[in-house]
Structure 1
Amino acid sequence: MSFFAKQTIVAQPGFNRWLVPPAALSVHLCIGQAYAFSVFNEPLSRAVGIGAATPEDWKLTTLGWIFSLAIVFLGLSAAVGGKWLEKVGPRLTMFVAACCFGGGFWVAALGVQLHEIGLLYLGYGVLGGIGLGLGYVSPVSTLIKWFPDRRGMATGMAIMGFGGGAMIGAPLAVWLMTHFKSATSVGVAETFMTMGSLYFLSMTIGALAIRIPPPDWRPPGWTPPTVRHKMITDKHVHIDQALKTPQFYLLWLVLCLNVTAGIGVLGQASVMIQEMFKGRVDAAAAAGFVGLLSLFNMVGRFFWSSASDYLGRKQTYFVFFAIGALLYGTVPTSGGAGNLPLFVVLYALIMSMYGGGFATIPAYLADIFGTMYVGGIHGRLLTAWSTAGVLGPVLVNYLREYQIGQGVAKGDAYNVTMYIMAGILVLGFIANLAIRPVHEKHHMKHDEFEELDGVYPADDH
């Protein structure tokens, strides 16, 4: 186990910090496949009937819980594993993530083969979700420590990979399912086995390549600014003390509301665009739409988090909530008018800010609570993502079913949901408005610093 020990991966003098982002991307580009899971929903809904769904096949509402469970366990594992990450380091955490995520695909493949929905819930939902959570938080605090001069850009480099995972995962899954499809199989089980193996290999390579900076390390030629913005602290808050501050819960709401507004739609993006533009968008084009959303999700993560280094985190979230609410309110109009290009543009912009919210939150946490325990605090905050992972899909899926049951056309069944999402973003705007600097009573004193691996953590301010 010494190979995985935190002391083993401390970088030697002269190490190039730009080698760390590729290691982070090799993990995040894999686990970002979760955003492409919707391409499996339609084939899984006819896993028994093959050519057409039968009464024995799973319904979309049943399948929707696979994605929701994965997001729930992402948040739970990140909350529990965040503090463990700070203790054991990113290499061991990333390797465990690789085992869980890759292994989750293999268990899910068995579930498809046996037609046992419980195994899909266990495999992709529970094991895969644990892999998602541990893989998500592992590189983030490491990158913040390597790039104290560009926190937003650093988190954007890592988390943009998660947003871009579907850009690779969606077309790869469609191609593999087409390749493995036969008269007796829709090709999903074989695709799960293949993708699980590929993702395990890529994530393991990232785990082997990751390094952490030595104590007191700073970028050559960089000195901490002597004048700090009032929303950027030069103190540290302990991971357990952070839970006693109102700022933690306001930031929890900010993330939860921002994610709820986008994740339900994203989880059903493939089905939604086919139903809203029936006859104009087929399954292949819908997969392309999911890939396009993934591209904007990915680019938005890097663009908006980098921009937050100049705009400030609070101001950046104001942009997300205010403009996002307007965009969601315009979606039903574009769908009703049959304006497919406008619909695509609206969702591309929405997804850029949705992804930007994910990438900006770790830097926001570092600004508010300091950098010493940002990985663990970030992990606990991701329970907001778990909550949103249930709320968003439930709003979209069950409101859709209810309205269709009331005689509403499938293409119009998403309109009310879009207006609800706009209202949710308005609530997020209010929560962000209430955020203030942490009171000094919560700051760690010098004699309270915990000794880690024989040295005291450096104050990178």
Structure 2
Amino acid sequence: MSTWLASSFLSKDRIIAKPGFNRWLAAPAALAVHLCIGQVYAFSVFNLPLTKVLGVTESLPEDWKLTTLGWIFSLAIMFLGLSAAFAGKWLEKVGPRVTMFCSALCFSGGFFIAAAGVELHSIWLLYLGYGVLGGIGLGLGYVSPVSTLIKWFPDRRGMATGLAIMGFGGGAMIGAPLSVFLMKHFASATSVGVAETFVTMGCIYLVFMMIGAFSIRLPAEGWLPANFQPDTRKSKLITDKHVHVEQVLKTPQFYLLWLVLCLNVTAGIGVLGQASAMSQEMFKDQITPEKAAAFVGMLSFFNMGGRFVWSTLSDYLGRKNVYFTFFVLGCVLYSIVPYTGRMNNVMLFMGCYAVIMSMYGGGFSTIPAYLADIFGTQYVGAIHGRLLTAWATAGVAGPVLVNYLRESQIAQGVPKADAYNMTMQIMAGLLLVGFFCNLGIKAVDEKHHLKHDDVNDQFDAA
């Protein structure tokens, strides 16, 4: 396999940029992939139609429940994290083109299998297709552009990770209205149009992800931008040393960062996965399915914008300070959300979630730069992949908290409009715990640093 990769058009050697290559051209290739796989954030627009696959106009007893369907999104995020953890080291060996290519095949293939699941009314095919295979495609596509753009922008790590991950947050801005449009187009007296939509979107995303895969380039070994100046800020958290990916697991900093990411993501992802249904239930007389799709699209816009804005700000404010902002402000906003429903204030509700989603996205784009600051840049792709197991954990914990607490509240006679109140308070508590985890992050002990002569040997061993 490795011999074939070395000689094929997918090989790492074939994508080394020639002298004079404009590094900004690497960004569109990253965005092409991330805008596609970011569709996962729009999956909530399928939830209500999928509860009517058999009944079409209304749910039948044999139709799937929201709690059953919630596992599709959770599985996709879980396998994103797991595949990223395993693919990080592989990525450093084979290069981003191979991983993007495999990502395109898995992600689009997941749509096709999920479509078969809808037609056969098999929830297990939906789990296997979009959840497992699609989730693997998400993980492979997610890590590839991040480490690549960090190599292209050593002078602007936060901005670089923001560029790489910005598209993932913006995928729902395209995916949500496209999904609603296609479902309406394919809907009939005997179909809600979901299966046909899955097939169509799988084909569209396959094309655009392949364009990204064949456009990506790597800088030559030792390349640095003109007039590059190393970061001279007096911060103990920014190191010019490197920690090997295996040694990282022996440091307390890795596990604190794991918790920081997991808690920040858990608080946001559960709500995001049910954004469409939640907005319709909390404001039943004001938000239609079309408006809910627009709301999901708006959240995607702030999710995307936050990934670039917050990570760029972290170049000036510091990664630790930016995460402090996420936890403090997020805790306040989650506490406010239940009151927006009681006041029937749609604008305040949307405003709170716009800021929350910007910080949720900013957490993803800031964490790779945070890792590079603390552990060095040599193995940041592999380390980032392993840290994304926190996302896999949050991908299960967040939706489960929202979905099952909602069901429990409704079973106790709580109106649907108020069924999310307890969940919001729990999310605020999780962010408070994250604040103290971030507070405990210090510089890595020198005993974990690689000696200069060991860097190349250990990298080959990885």
1:329-354 CA distances to partner (integer Å, 9 max, x unpaired)?
00011111111110010000100001
Could you tell me which residue of structure 2 aligns to residue 244 of structure 1? 250
Two-structure CA RMSD over aligned residues (Å): 1.4
In the TM superposition, what is the alpha-carbon distance from 1:4 to its structure 2 partner?
A: 1.1
**Inter-CA distance 178–140: structure 2 relative to 1 (3 Å threshold):** same
Pair 1:427 & 2:427 matched: no
**Inter-CA distance 401–6: structure 2 relative to 1 (3 Å threshold):** same
1:149-179 CA distances to partner (integer Å, 9 max, x unpaired)?
1000000011110000000000000000000
Report if the CA contact (8 A) 1:61-1:398 is conserved.
yes
C-alpha distance in 2 between matches for 1:29 and 1:250: 29
C-alpha distance in 2 between matches for 1:427 and 1:223: 37
In the TM superposition, what is the alpha-carbon distance from 1:452 to its structure 2 partner?
A: 9.2
Report if the CA contact (8 A) 1:35-1:294 is conserved.
yes
Pair 1:59 & 2:77 matched: no
Report if the CA contact (8 A) 1:256-1:387 is conserved.
yes
2:354 equivalent among 348, 351, 355: 348
Structure 1 residue runs without a partner (length 5+): none
C-alpha distance in 2 between matches for 1:266 and 1:64: 11
In the TM superposition, what is the alpha-carbon distance from 1:225 to its structure 2 partner?
A: 3.9
1:24 equivalent among 30, 47, 51: 30
Could you tell me which residue of structure 1 aligns to residue 162 of structure 2? 156
Counterpart amino acid of residue 74 in structure 1: L
Pair 1:136 & 2:156 matched: no
In the TM superposition, what is the alpha-carbon distance from 1:227 to its structure 2 partner?
A: 5.8
Counterpart amino acid of residue 376 in structure 1: A
In the TM superposition, what is the alpha-carbon distance from 1:94 to its structure 2 partner?
A: 0.5
C-alpha distance in 1 between matches for 2:202 and 2:370: 33
1:34-90 CA distances to partner (integer Å, 9 max, x unpaired)?
000000001110001111111111001000000000000000000001110011000
> Percentage identity across aligned positions?
71
Could you tell me which residue of structure 2 aligns to residue 179 of structure 1? 185
Could you tell me which residue of structure 2 aligns to residue 224 of structure 1? 230
Counterpart amino acid of residue 255 in structure 1: L
Report if the CA contact (8 A) 2:244-2:458 is conserved.
no
Q: Name the SS for the 1:234 alignment partner.
A: coil
Counterpart amino acid of residue 231 in structure 1: L
1:367-406 CA distances to partner (integer Å, 9 max, x unpaired)?
0000010001000000000100011001100000001000
Counterpart amino acid of residue 13 in structure 1: P
Q: Give 1:348-427 correspondences, 5 Å limit.
A: 348-427=354-433
Q: Name the SS for the 1:450 alignment partner.
A: helix
Report if the CA contact (8 A) 1:7-1:453 is conserved.
no
Q: Give 1:256-405 correspondences, 5 Å limit.
A: 256-405=262-411
Q: Name the SS for the 2:9 alignment partner.
A: helix
C-alpha distance in 2 between matches for 1:213 and 1:21: 13
Q: Name the SS for the 2:20 alignment partner.
A: coil
Report if the CA contact (8 A) 1:36-1:170 is conserved.
yes
Q: Name the SS for the 1:449 alignment partner.
A: helix
Could you tell me which residue of structure 2 aligns to residue 113 of structure 1? 119
C-alpha distance in 1 between matches for 2:170 and 2:449: 37
C-alpha distance in 2 between matches for 1:134 and 1:226: 34
Q: Name the SS for the 2:241 alignment partner.
A: coil
C-alpha distance in 1 between matches for 2:96 and 2:191: 39
**Inter-CA distance 225–386: structure 2 relative to 1 (3 Å threshold):** closer
Report if the CA contact (8 A) 1:178-1:187 is conserved.
yes
In the TM superposition, what is the alpha-carbon distance from 1:451 to its structure 2 partner?
A: 4.9
In the TM superposition, what is the alpha-carbon distance from 1:280 to its structure 2 partner?
A: 1.0
Counterpart amino acid of residue 219 in structure 1: P
TM-score (norm 1): 0.97
Report if the CA contact (8 A) 1:107-1:122 is conserved.
yes
Report if the CA contact (8 A) 1:236-1:369 is conserved.
yes
Counterpart amino acid of residue 368 in structure 2: P
C-alpha distance in 2 between matches for 1:239 and 1:96: 23
C-alpha distance in 2 between matches for 1:163 and 1:449: 34
1:69-114 CA distances to partner (integer Å, 9 max, x unpaired)?
0000000000001110011000000000000000000000010011
1:145 equivalent among 151, 156, 168: 151
Q: Name the SS for the 1:436 alignment partner.
A: coil
C-alpha distance in 2 between matches for 1:149 and 1:287: 38
Could you tell me which residue of structure 1 aligns to residue 261 of structure 2? 255
C-alpha distance in 1 between matches for 2:290 and 2:50: 16
Structure 2 residue runs without a partner (length 5+): none
C-alpha distance in 2 between matches for 1:417 and 1:52: 27
Counterpart amino acid of residue 89 in structure 1: G
Runs of 4+ in structure 1 over 6 Å off: none
**Inter-CA distance 453–241: structure 2 relative to 1 (3 Å threshold):** closer
